[in-house]
């Protein structure tokens, strides 16, 4: 049976920003990123910038806003940016 999970990768800038998150908030961010392992079509995910960028989406979860790109052929989600949700 194939693994239904997606691969989630962070861009180098997102990795650098991840290390700036305080320890207290790191668990919240990890939980928000973990949602992406189930794929890009979960409720609450929407096209980024009204669809201006192809295959780029955003969602807010657990106090974080995450912007990501979907690479369908590779079954990969590439996290471009995250920040505390407003």
pTM score, whole prediction = 0.87
- Specify the pairing of strand 7-10 against strand 76-84: parallel
Is residue 1 predicted with pLDDT exceeding 70? no
* Per-residue pLDDT band at 2 (split at 50, 70, 90): low
Q: What is the pLDDT of residues 10-68, one digit of tens each?
A: 999 999 999 999 988 899 999 999 999 988 877 788 989 887 888 999 999 999 999 99
Most distant CA atoms of the chain, gap in Å: 40
74-83 average pLDDT score: 94
Count other C-beta atoms under 10 Å from residue 45's C-beta. 19
C-alpha dihedral, 17 to 79 to 60 to 84, nearest 10°:
10
* The pair of three-digit structure tokens given for residue 13, joined into one six-digit string: 């800038």
What is the structure's pLDDT at 49? 84
| Cα–Cα distance measured from residue 48 to residue 3, given in angstroms and rounded to the nearest whole number | 27
């Amino acid at each position: 049976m194939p693994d239904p999970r997606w691969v989630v990768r962070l861009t180098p800038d997102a990795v650098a920003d991840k290390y700036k998150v305080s320890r207290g908030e790191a668990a919240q961010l990890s939980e928000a990123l973990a949602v992406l392992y189930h794929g890009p079509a979960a409720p609450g995910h929407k096209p980024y910038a009204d669809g201006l960028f192809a295959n780029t989406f955003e969602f807010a979860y657990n106090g974080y806003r995450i912007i990501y790109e979907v690479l369908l052929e590779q079954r990969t989600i590439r996290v471009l940016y995250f920040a505390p949700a407003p």
